[in-house]
């Protein structure tokens, strides 16, 4: 008997009690498309720029990606949380700085939960829409580096690096990509999270 038949029986039984069972990742989902793309392009290293607390890295592992993950997270408090999550995964490392088109120390706007941490200032409409209290915003110092200045030492040991560049930097993605100019031959795919409407001033 094929595996599909017992799965269909299980799905029908689950529906009777109000549950739905489907394949993971679901067809047509971002997770499914990402898994297929990484496999088809033979990606062996993912640069998780704007690593936050590791959400994207966990999505990669859940989808079956077994290669190297390098997360970049410049906010110290957030990086500590990220570091704790990386300890059980020897192929997942993190760096406590951000990426840009210049290497320098800059001021970042922090909005409490860190979801909207950015070099730009959140505009009033976005703050209201997402329930962000801008009155508790603070300025924090972070370090930025160009990717083409630090990549080679990070991918030592990876034979024929085929890199996927994921960027989620709250309005700074273009600068990250510009800073990758000198190592662009290693990057075979990228993902940039862009808002449909501007979230920040001067975006």
**pLDDT tens digits along 35-81:** 899 999 999 999 999 999 999 999 999 999 999 999 999 999 999 99
Percentage helix, strand, coil for the chain under 3-state DSSP, each rounded to 5: 35, 25, 40
Name the CA dihedral angle for 136, 142, 148, 153, rounded to a multiple of 10 degrees. Answer: -120
Domains of the chain: 30-192 (3.40.50)
d(C-alpha 60, C-alpha 57), whole Å: 5
d(C-alpha 112, C-alpha 175), whole Å: 24
Q: What is the pLDDT of residue 97?
A: 97
Long-range contacts of 132-136 (CB under 8 A, 24+ apart): 136/111, 136/112
Closest CA to 66 of 107, 109, 112, 35: 35
Residues 151-194 have pLDDT tens digits of: 999 999 999 999 999 999 988 999 999 999 999 999 999 999 87
Residues 6+ apart with CB under 8 A from 168: 49, 50, 52, 56, 192, 193
d(C-alpha 88, C-alpha 161), whole Å: 23
Q: In the block, which residue shows the tokens 């033979």? A: 42
């Amino acid at each position: 008997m094929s595996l599909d038949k017992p799965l269909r029986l299980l799905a029908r039984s689950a529906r009777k009690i109000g549950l739905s069972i489907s394949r993971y990742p679901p067809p047509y989902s971002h997770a499914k498309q990402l898994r297929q793309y990484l496999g088809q392009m033979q990606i062996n290293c993912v640069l998780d720029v704007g690593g936050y607390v590791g959400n994207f890295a966990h999505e990669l592992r859940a989808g079956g990606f077994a290669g190297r993950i390098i997360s970049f997270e410049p906010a110290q408090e957030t990086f500590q949380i990220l570091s704790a999550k990386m300890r059980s995964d020897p192929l997942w490392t993190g760096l406590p700085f951000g990426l840009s088109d210049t290497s320098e120390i800059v001021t970042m706007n922090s909005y409490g939960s860190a979801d909207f941490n950015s070099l730009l200032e959140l505009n009033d409409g976005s703050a209201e829409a997402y329930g962000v209290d801008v009155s508790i915003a603070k300025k924090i110092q972070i370090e930025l580096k160009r990717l083409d200045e630090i990549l080679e030492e990070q991918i030592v040991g990876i034979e024929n690096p085929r890199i996927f560049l994921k960027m989620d930097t709250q309005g700074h993605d273009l600068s990250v990509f510009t800073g990758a100019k000198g190592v662009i031959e290693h990057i075979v795919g990228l993902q940039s999270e862009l808002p449909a409407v501007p979230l920040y001033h001067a975006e």
